[in-house]
Chain A
Amino acid sequence: MSDYQPKILVFSSDKISDPAIDLAGLLKKHYSPKVYNITVPCTSSVKSRWILHAFEKGIDGVFIGSDGTDCPYRSDCSDLSSKVIEQTQEVMKERGINIARVKMAALCSVCADPFVNHMKNFSESLASLGNIKNETGQSNE
């Protein structure tokens, strides 16, 4: 087990998964403080280039907290995100980045526990992969 504390970028949706992350905090359920969240209207808007940008800059893993079927905009938003992730993973392969560094799961607006569990598991698996910079070829400075 590595001691490395990976940085995780979360994309959450304003109406569904972001409230779940809020609820986790409200209930003082702890997860890694190296988790940073960007809230967008719907996670189907997350672009491949954002994910790749994050890896380039030293984020170790990107997690998309999708609305699943709860999405108020469209019920296929997770399918759309899946496609974006597939495309992103193609590029990641080319660049030698482990495709397990991007992950998506559906979170409902009260899914505090699932969110915390995802963060724990993702942190652990990313820790075992080690620093992203070993893959993107940047210096560890």
Chain B
Amino acid sequence: MKKDLKQKIGVYICECGGNISDYVDVEKVAKAVENEPGVYLVQTTMFTCSDSAQIEIIEGIKENNLDSMVVASCSPKLHLLTFRDVAKRAGLNQYNYVHANIREQCSWAHSDRTEEATDKAVRLVRAAIAKVRLSESLETIEIEAKNVAAIVGAGVSGLRSAIDLADQGTQVYLIERDHFVGGRTAQWGKLFPTNEDGKELVERLYKQIKERENITVFTGADIQSLDGSVGDFKLGVKISPRHITGACDEETSDQLYKVCPQETDDEFNFGLTKRKAIYKNYKNAYPENPVVDMDLCDKCGECLKVTNSNINLEQEAENITLNVGAILLNTGFDPYEPKDGEFGYKTIDNVITLPQFRRLLDMSNGSLEYNGKSIRDIAYIYCVGSRQPDGENKHCSRYCCTSAIQSALNVKSKYSDVRNFHINRGIRTYGKQETCYVDSTKQGDVYLQFFEKSFPTLEKIGDKTIITLNDALTDNETMEVSADLVVLVTGMVPRKEDTVAGILKVPIGSDKFYNEIHTKLRPVETVIDGIFIAGACQSPKNIRATMASTLSATAKANSLISTGKIELEPIIATIDTNLCEWCGKCDELCSYNAFEKVEIDGKMVAQVNKAICKGCGACAPICEVNAINIIGSSDEEVEVMIDAFVKDVQFIEDHKAKEAEKTVGKTDDTEKLKKALPEIGKKILQSLESEAKSVPEIAADIQHPADDVLYYLMSLRKYGFVKETGEINDDEYYLYELKQ
């Protein structure tokens, strides 16, 4: 298919205030590309991103009736959106603009070889020109969005998110797999640094949830299916019943627990206690009613005899479909479960995990006992299941050092004769958490340290467990700690029973946690539009960091769906239906189910669902008849770029004329240059009008970060707007003044 090639291309080459032009001869580049097919005008500018340069480009495009543009400047990661906007304001389609990265991937990378950097810049700009010639006008895909969100997981992260999202006007469905809200936080007892109980935190959040009419909480709810796409997801959810159909007060509940004969390990207490088939996670768990565990119940009927129990053992599960615009995953983590025998776990009877210890401490009353034996000396072994030199958990779980030390503080304040021994691999109580470490040393806790090369060994002798280690803090002296209880400070791992990720097709990272688009720049979004991740399902986080990420996801979700419309990038796969013979390979490979089998002109072919396709392109190489191309990375586009890279570069050597031209340009155009300054440059000049100033003084005066000021000041110096006074001020900073 022959395309209409672009005929009037505007090429704008940025000097970036010397960041490019110090190493790349931009004038040479301009000269070398001006005769490329389709190029109508080439301009170099000092700061292409500055407001005045943008206006100039827009005017130029309109005046000359250009049909496309190339900007050669910094990485498109910085200014792609800026120049798409310029294109739009100039009346161009934003996809008729192509960017060439001649700073990060040219002038800076090759600042050691300026001539070759110039040669490379020519090739990069030519490739962009060749690509833009082929460009077509594309419309962003606009779809309707429901201002309704599903939040999966009602731990503190999900609860917090629901409240904020609801307050921003979004209808919220809060979906919890367990029959009670609160997740892990409810299990932890007293928390650093306020000593507030995790259960109190949950209660406070839950009460706020109940005050809001636009939040619906589903407990015992399992996600079964997902259809649709961003703005219009259809989430199939199975709601398991509580089997208690009316109010059930505390007295009645207590009686129910009493009469129920079926017993099992209580998961909430990590198996330290037993619970009945009728149970609550803990006394004040929410929602208030107990629940009947039908996997355990044998319908003996004892509970039905209790008056006012409102029990209905025949209540059936309900399948519902929630129509939502966005989905926020706050599904949390599992504590690492040590392997049998790992530091004596399950082989020595007084070895427990940190989560178990927190439950033990929370439930203990009057005396601290485990297995009927009173506890005085507690040894904590750190980094169990984290930072494994050989295992698959390479990560630090971030919360465990603080949690273990906080536990040591909690236990000591409750039972003052307890002695704590922290056998660690280096304490990581970063930030404010350092205070709990200080408090623990003040209360007399003993810290011993080992390295990954020699792990401590454990041996049970009588009632005590003897831990032997080479203590790094005393020049590898062999030390023995005799403990009544050994607490394995276990880290966080992804949920073992995760059915959600598979159904929602959430990308999983190498650490097996949910994966964001970009760890720093886009930390709560996934590549699946409309699906966000927050809290410990993404990576180990403490409650503080969890809240920060969940509020961030909340804001992102709200801004996506609250206007009722969503714009999607039209960078998707296309099918040449003349070539396609529907073999189904693309459909099989696609992670997102973006393909549909349709009939066109009497034959079956693949069709791409525009709202679902992410444009990753994985399908393109596997198509045996080469019917698939990705918009923006089509065969033609890639191949013309390659051709441009290899085409010889010959500079027209006319030094004299060019030098003359350059001088004229520079002296006559001071005013023009001044006009082209970015806002911050103008502010700096203004600030220096009254007196000479140092960089920090200018920064304070114009209220910009000092590093920005320094960056622009150096450009101003280069272009002869300012100079050093040669003096330094009292703080020993150089002073700068206007150059007349």
Residues of A in contact with B (beta carbons under 8 Å apart): 7, 9, 15-16, 18-19, 21-26, 28-31, 33-34, 36-38, 40-42, 44-50, 53-54, 57-59, 68-75, 77, 80, 84, 109
The distance from the CB of B74 to the nearest CB of chain A, in whole angstroms, is 9
Which residue of the partner chain B has the closest CB to A42?
B616
Selected from A23, A68, A72, A77, the residue in CB contact (under 8 A) with B516 is: A72
Question: Does B77 contact A19, Cβ atoms closer than 8 Å?
Answer: yes
Q: Say if the beta carbon of B155 comes within 8 Å of chain A.
A: no
Some 20 contacts from A to B, beta carbons below 8 A apart, are A18-B77, A30-B110, A33-B109, A33-B116, A33-B120, A36-B124, A40-B638, A41-B617, A44-B617, A45-B617, A45-B618, A45-B633, A53-B639, A57-B646, A73-B616, A75-B509, A75-B510, A75-B515, A77-B616, A80-B621
Question: A47 to B507, alpha carbons, bound, how many Å?
Answer: 23
Q: B residues touching A (Cβ–Cβ < 8 Å)?
A: 75, 77, 101, 103-113, 116-117, 119-120, 123-124, 127, 507-510, 515-520, 526-527, 571, 589, 591, 614-618, 620-622, 626, 630, 633, 635, 638-639, 641-643, 645-646
With A25-B108, A45-B616 known as contacts, the answer to whether A72 contacts B527 (CB < 8 A) is yes
Nearest A residue to B99 via CB reads A39
Asked whether, in the complex, the Cβ of A22 is within 8 Å of the Cβ of B630, the reply is: no
Chain A residues with Cβ under 8 A from B635's Cβ?
A: 47, 49-50
Q: In the complex, are the beta carbons of B591 and A73 less than 8 A apart?
A: yes
- Number of CB contacts from chain A to chain B under 8 A: 151
Tell me how far the C-beta of B107 lies from the nearest C-beta in chain A, rounded to whole angstroms: 8
Cross-chain contact B616 with A41 (CB below 8 angstroms) = yes
Contact A30 B646 (CB under 8 A): no
Q: How far is the CB of B131 from chain A (nearest CB, A)?
A: 9
- Measured between beta carbons, the chain A residues less than 8 angstroms from B515 are 70, 72, 75
Known: A47-B620, A73-B527, A80-B621. A59 touches B645 (CB 8 A): yes
Given A45-B630, A49-B635, A70 contacting B509 (CB threshold 8 A): yes
Assess A59 versus B527: contact at CB under 8 Å? Given A36-B120, A44-B618: no
A31 touching B109, Cβ below 8 Å: yes
Contacts of B622 in A (CB 8 A): 80
Cα distance, A28 to B103, chains bound together (Å): 10
| Contact status A70-B510, CB under 8 Å | yes
Contact A72 B77 (CB under 8 A): no
**Docked CA distance A59–B127 (Å):** 14
Whole-angstrom CA separation of A86 from B638 in the bound complex:
20
- A105 to B713 CA separation, bound complex (whole angstroms): 40
Contact yes or no, B626 A49, CB < 8 A: yes
The distance from the CB of A35 to the nearest CB of chain B, in whole angstroms, is 8
Interchain CA distance A15-B571 in the complex, whole Å:
14
Interface contact B77-A22, CB-CB below 8 Å: yes
Given A45-B620, A47-B621, A75-B510 in contact, is the A38-B638 Cβ separation under 8 Å?
A: yes
A25 touches B124 (CB 8 A): no
**For the complex, what is the distance from the CA of A73 to the CA of B520, rounded to whole Å?**
17
- Shortest C-beta distance, B586 to chain A (Å), equals 12
Cα–Cα distance between A20 and B116 once the two chains are bound (Å): 22
Contact A54 B621 (CB under 8 A): no
A-B pairs with the 8 shortest C-beta distances?
A45-B617, A69-B510, A25-B104, A73-B616, A33-B116, A25-B109, A25-B108, A44-B618
